[in-house]
Amino acid sequence: MRVLIAVMLMIAVAGCTHVRSSKGVNLSAEGTWLVLPLVNRTATPQAGLRGSAIVEAVLYRHGVERVEVYPETDNEGVLFEASSSASRNKMAQWVSAQNANYVVSGVVHEWRYKTGVDGEPAVGVMLEIRELPSNKIVYSGTASRAGWARDSLSETGQKVIDKLLKSVVD
């Protein structure tokens, strides 16, 4: 009986998204939102760029009409690392040259399939939204999720990022 209860609890917890974020933040979908590449703190190549693409799509899904994504320049592609000093300086210059209301940045700290028989996807993301031109942080949140064995990594990433942004944008 105890084993059955333990298994039921494990099933109930698996697949849940765990979120910690600023409370009571409600930002306007009107205006222009900028999306910077997320810093990749994983061993998965381009996890930060994948996360940024999902942020863009989720913002559109929640009614944001104008989203500008940091342009990939200098053929950085696979080797782009948003945490380097040169990259941060370029991004700061780009943000200051834009006429925007908000800028979204963050970190991908997990983006992989777990090892083992089922190989469940696991995603962890931290997002930060700054109001422009003051550059004041108006929202910060982190979320993680381990998906089911048949879930894809990008589907799990979408669920995590959607959970972070859905209460923020009206």
Q: Any idea how long the chain is?
A: 170
Domains of the chain in start order, with CATH, are: 16-165 (3.40.50.10610)
What is the model's pTM? 0.84
Model confidence over 48-105: pLDDT tens digits? 999 999 999 999 999 999 999 999 765 555 555 676 788 889 999 999 999 999 999 9
- The beta strands (E) that lie in the chain are given as 17-21, 32-35, 39-40, 66-69, 102-113, 121-131, 136-146
